[in-house]
Amino acid sequence: MKNIKQRLVSLCCLFILFSICNFFYFQNSGNYGVLPGENTKFEDAAIEPDELFNQTWSLIKSSYFDDDMNEQNWARWKKRYSHKIKTEEDAYIAINTMLASLNDPYSKFLNKNEFEEQNTTIDSKIYGIGINIVSISGKIYIMSVIKGAPADIQGVKSGDMILKINGNDIKGGSIFQAANYIKTGPNGSENKDNLVELEILRNGEKIIKKIKRAEIKIKTVEAETLDKEIGYIRITSFISSNTPIEFIEALNKIKDTKALILDLRGNTGGLFQNAVFVANMFLQKGDIVRVIGRDGKGSSYSAENKDYVYDKPLAVLVDGESASASEIVSAALKDNNRAVIIGTKTFGKGVVQKIYPMPNSTGLNLTIARYLTPSGNDINKKGITPNYFVEITRDDFEKNNDSQLNFAKNIIKGELERSKLAEKS
C-alpha cells in the first residue's frame, strides 16, 4: 500500500496554502475565526485611547452575531464614555465593561501582551509549566505532563492531585481558575519571577513543587499502537498551525493497525480549519459543519474528494472539556455514522469567534457566527451526547485506570471480531 504520508503530504500543503489565501473561521475555547474573503487588517498605528474605544464600539456594532446586542441599545455605550476616556487604562476598562454587557464569555478584548501571547500559541508555543489538568468531583488532577517541560523536569506526574497553586486553595475551583493561578503569582499578583508553586497530593503525601515557567514548543498530536492491532491518536489541541502535518504523521505511524481510537478528551478547541481537515480525513462524503452568520445566511463545509480516506473502524473519546473544534469533529463523525462516540457529554460551544487585530498592537476576539452539526443540531450550551456514556471516577484516576479508553478498546475489538466472523461466513 502506498505510504499514507506520501499520499497526504500534497493534500496538506494545498490545504495550508488555501487557508492562507482564503480566510477561514478559527475556533478555540477562546475562540478564533476569520470570515472568508474579508480584510480584517487594521493599520497598527498608535491612536488616542478614545479613538481605540470608538473603533472597537463600531466594530462590535457592525459584526457581532446577535444584532440586538443582547437586547440593548448599543448607542448607550458611546454616550456613556463620550469625552471621558483619557488614558489607555480608561479605554481598556470601557471596552471590557461594554463587552461584558453582551454576556458572552468568548468575546474578549486583548491588550498588547495578551494579543501577542495568543499569536504565539497559534505558532505552537506556550509559556507555562507544561501540564494538562482535569476536574473530577470538584478536585483538580494533573492528567498529563508534557515531556521535557518544566513540570516534567521537576518530577510532577500524571495523577497528582493539586491542592494549592501559589498559596491559593483550589478546592472546588474550576480548571480555568487553576490555569489563571499558574499564570499569576501569589494572591493574583504579577508573576515577575515566573515561579509557580504547586502543593500536590500523591499517594496520601503532600508534596511542594516549585517550577519555573518557560516557553514550551507544543506538539498537538500523539500516536501509538495499542494491543498490537488498534491505533491510538490523541489530539491535545487544534490551535497549532502544525496540527494537520502532525496528524498526517500520526496516521502514517498507525497505518498497519486494523482500527483507530481518536482521543479528543481535554481538547478545548483550536483552529476551525484544523477541525475540518481532521474530520475530512475520515469521511468519503457528507457534511462536516454549517456556519450561520449574523444575517442568518449559512456556509456549509463538506467532505471533499481526495486520494485517501481512513475507512477502518473508528471510536472517538470525549469529555466535558472537549469543546469547539473538538465538537465539530465529534459531531461530524457521529452524525455521519462514521464513528462511535464514547465518554461524557462535551462542553457545548457552538459559536465562532473572529480575531480582529486592532490599533496599538491590541486585538479583539468577537463572536461573529454560530454553527450547526450535519444533522442541524445547535450544540451551544448543550454539548454532544456520546453513544456510550462512560465516566472516569476518582477511583479510576487514582488507580491509573482509563475506563473510557478500555471501553473503547473493547468496542473496537468486538467490531473487529464481528468482521472476522463475517469474512469466514
The set of catalytic residues is 324, 335, 349
Question: How many residues belong to the chain?
Answer: 425
Nearest in space to 91 (alpha carbons), one of 53, 61, 55, 54: 53
> Number of C-alpha atoms within 13 angstroms, CB side, residue 235?
37
Q: How far apart are CA 354 and CA 271, in angstroms?
A: 11
In terms of Cβ atoms closer than 10 Å to its own Cβ (0-12, 13-18, 19+), residue 299 is middle
Q: How far apart are CA 408 and CA 344, in angstroms?
A: 13
Which three cell numbers mark 240? 497549532
